[in-house]
Amino acid sequence: MQSSILGPVVALAAWTMIIWIWMYATRLPAMGRAGIDGTKVVGSTGGALRDALIAKGEEKASWVADNYNHLHEAPTVFYAVCLALAMVGQGDNLNATIAWAYVGLRVAHSLVQIFSNRVIIRFALFALSSVALMMLVAHAVMSVLLH
């Protein structure tokens, strides 16, 4: 079964991997500049590393890591709902368009968070992406539970 909604699913998964690479390409040099020896860090949490980087003036390195974490929150619902819509034959047309809008908004959210971290802009993008996700969930409920 081929469904158009699988394109945005794969695109967001690929974007998440790009952010993963970006995170390490940013964080490892920042750790070096901050004098943090990763081979000597034991039992540290991501939050502790973030705090250490911020204390050494390397706040922007944490913005990428924060975004990587964000891509594992609401998007998990996106993946599940899109796969459900594909499985019930509702992954084309309007739902695929909404899914692409969701991906575009999440990519825009990533770029804002990584480059400027302007909370009001991030919030607006997150809110819009949440509306798109709610629409996909509503369509899945209508297709799966009410059909």
Owner of token pair 């996700």: 133
Q: Under a CB-based contact definition with an 8 Å cutoff, are residues 67 and 77 in contact?
A: no
Owner of token pair 């509306």: 131
pLDDT in tens, 36-78: 988 887 776 677 888 889 999 999 999 999 999 999 999 999 9
- H or E element in which residue 4 lies: none
Owner of token pair 């369509």: 139
**Dist CA 95 CA 22 (whole Å):** 30
The number of angstroms, rounded, from the C-alpha of 51 to the middle of its chain's C-alpha atoms is: 22
Helix (H, G, I), strand (E, B) or coil at 116: coil
Nearest Cα residue to 33 out of 63, 5, 54: 54
Provide the whole-model pTM. 0.93
**Dist CA 88 CA 106 (whole Å):** 25
pLDDT in tens, 105-139: 999 999 999 999 999 999 999 999 999 999 999 99
